[in-house]
Amino acid sequence: MHGTASLVLLAFAVFFVALSPLLRWYAFPRLAKVPPGQYQEMVLEAEDATLLDYGTMKPEKVSKVTIVQTLKGNVEESAKIERTAGRDVVVWDGLSHVVGPDGKMVSSIPERYIFDAHTQAPVHADGEHVDGDPVRREGIEFKWPFLTEKRDYTYFDAQARTSAPIRYEGTQTFRGLEVYYFEQTIPWTKVPMPKKLPVAGITPESVGKTGTTRWYTTRRMFWVDPTTGAPVNGQEIHKEELRGGTLLGDRDTVTAFAGRVKMRDDYIDSTVGLVKSQRQLILLMTGYLPWGFVVLGAGLIALSLVLEARGRRPGPGAPVDGGADPHPAPADV
């Protein structure tokens, strides 16, 4: 009986020990993915900023500039691309809508970001664009991979339409979460004019005919939850200039925008709460269950060995010394 029980326990022990790496290295990479229909909204603000008045072409100090950033999952486009890509794909239709303190539009830039649902690596397909300009992204944008590593990544800059390293600068604690801090600096770069401008009659084409160009630099900062790969906070020290051309008159340079852009506190709170709930499922699959199965398997092996040892131990009154009876009966005379 003991032998049968020990064999059953040993079989279960082998099963759980074998299941541990399968769950971590096989099941998790296939099950963890960004849902295709996800919708996100983020509000960022730059207080005491400098903003160009396109009516007078003079920069002014304003109390606040607001950026509303939305990302909407396009399920129909995802399914269409998946049929040819042969993998799970997410299509985010994004919009960065900038308004001044009076609520009037400053710029409104759409983009389409296509990426692998599991790894967040870009997937190149028709429709990938920023402000209507076709692009071919390299690296990540908006979201880091699940189980983010302590290393530099390549990050796509939508303004410059190019990719550059975003550097891991260390581990910090942010609102109760251990996060990785990343930073990227884009040097002064000539960038396209937005297609939508706040003054009727002024278009990128009309500005281009004057010889005036738009330049941009930023210092980009992200605090990223390494489990989910989701940024829980983001800031930019952002500057834009118009340079040269007849539009500026006798001036060589005019500031179009300058300010420190920060996520609004209520959106930070909402993001942190969402990340804290989502990270538990990932930790369950990558840590709690795999290590739990190893501990359970080790316990079952130990119990199996104990039962086997008890099965081999002689009971009370059992013969010893090779089976000879230590008290033989007297021989018949």
Centroid of chain to Cα 108: 24
Where would I find the H helices in the chain? 2-22, 28-31, 75-85, 204-210, 265-283, 289-312
In a domain, 202, yes or no: yes
Q: What is the pLDDT, as a whole number, of residue 216?
A: 96
Calpha distance 247→206 (Å, rounded): 10
Model confidence at 47, in pLDDT bands (50, 70, 90)? very high
Tell me which residue range forms the domain holding 149. Answer: 32-263
In a domain, 282, yes or no: no
pLDDT in tens, 157-176: 999 999 999 999 999 999 99
- Strands 153-157 and 253-263, by their bridges, are unpaired
Give 11 or 71, the one with higher predicted confidence: 71
pLDDT in tens, 99-111: 999 999 999 999 9
Give 20 or 35, the one with higher predicted confidence: 35
pLDDT in tens, 253-263: 999 999 999 99
Among 31-35, 62-66, 135-139, which is the least confidently predicted range? 31-35
In a domain, 12, yes or no: no
Q: What is the pLDDT, as a whole number, of residue 23?
A: 80
If you average pLDDT over every residue of the chain, what do you get? 89
Calpha distance 101→253 (Å, rounded): 24
In a domain, 285, yes or no: no
Q: What is the pLDDT, as a whole number, of residue 333?
A: 44
Residues with Cβ within 8 Å of 265's Cβ and at least 6 positions away in sequence, in order, are none
On the question of pLDDT at 321 being above 90, the answer is: no
Model confidence at 306, in pLDDT bands (50, 70, 90)? confident
Give 311 or 42, the one with higher predicted confidence: 42
Contact 95, 110 (CB under 8 A): yes
pTM given for the model: 0.86
The mean pLDDT value for 287-295 works out to 83
On the question of pLDDT at 58 being above 50, the answer is: yes
The mean pLDDT value for 299-322 works out to 69
Among 25-29, 70-74, 177-181, 194-198, which is the least confidently predicted range? 25-29
Model confidence at 33, in pLDDT bands (50, 70, 90)? very high
In a domain, 284, yes or no: no
Q: What is the pLDDT, as a whole number, of residue 313?
A: 65
215 strand-pairing partners: 190, 241
Total tally of structural domains belonging to the chain: 1
In a domain, 7, yes or no: no
Model confidence at 74, in pLDDT bands (50, 70, 90)? very high
In a domain, 249, yes or no: yes
In a domain, 205, yes or no: yes
On the question of pLDDT at 288 being above 90, the answer is: no
